[in-house]
Structure 1
């Protein structure tokens, strides 16, 4: 039989505190903030809405990220990291130069098509003149692996005589991203102006092939190709 003192002690016991998984909570906030900023921009992004959807307090958001600007920067870092991590699995070094160039083009096109929120977020950061990326050392360092991969493919192709010399890997990366990015970022305005189909599965598949062809034609050694064709005639 419980004594009165024992019952009183048990009644005053607090329920066990459920500890948050800090990394999981932070990740959930970032995922929700990503959707919010991609839809409404930095100025229109609502931290109250982010807190409500993440089932946390706004104070906790600022505990992790200090300010709305820092949260936006962290979202950018997460978004770019997703693409950079995927790029590591391309294994371009295992492919012949032409196959590597085409694989790079197809991957970039597919990623942008599958992640329109990423495209919108990058567009929003451009509205802010890239100030968050410029201030993030992490974002700057993320670009090195893919540029190195492209440079290695170009070097191998030049050595094999199938790619023309003098191509800047950063310029090539820029040209490819411009082509793929446009297909998502400008899809609606281009369709409205020219009555062009850029959204159907057939149109996307055709554009994917065209971009890969364009990129390869740009880098290939036409003199080598011409000599090869002449020798076969």
Structure 2
């Protein structure tokens, strides 16, 4: 069988037969891949523990007729170990995996940017950012904004999402695509608290130092708006968001 090798993050697994698993990964060069890991549920398996969700691995695949087969896996970062001991960070990590799985819908399509964002978010969740530790909710919100923006659904923050009038504006509408001016503002749009717009801009640009002074009110409002925005553009809510301890 032809083989290929790639760096990947395990998104989810499913049982197959008595000892196998179907493993879904997001890889750097081959996008999302579903492959069979044979015998990994046996206690004698050499790499079963390396193919659990959150694992960042170097994987070798053999090309199969329907599903590829994982023939080797080497752990690069075991993000599952620190996450499994912290409920808040574990459930936040589950949101990251589900989002990546939903945004990269086509198997085999290159998704290097989405892969890099996911690895960066898992690293920030377990080891902190370049500017020091950050709350799990902040890491999640930054990832969600940047991931949907990479997928082509960036929220309009500097101008009105409807008419394009330059901002800053005071209201945010997930259904309209971001900030809206007074003329275009639909019913039930959220009026932003002072500092929320700047905080959203810092999250989407990855400016961690600028997020340090955000108040609890700003962070809570931004988190709710981001969840609503992502759910709207994914056409249904993220299942894992319901398990977050807010």
The structure that is helix-richer by fraction is 1
Higher relative contact order (CA 8 A, sep 6+): 1
The structure that is strand-richer by fraction is 2
Q: Under a length normalisation based on structure 1, what TM-score does the superposition of the two structures give? A: 0.28
Q: Under a length normalisation based on structure 2, what TM-score does the superposition of the two structures give? A: 0.27
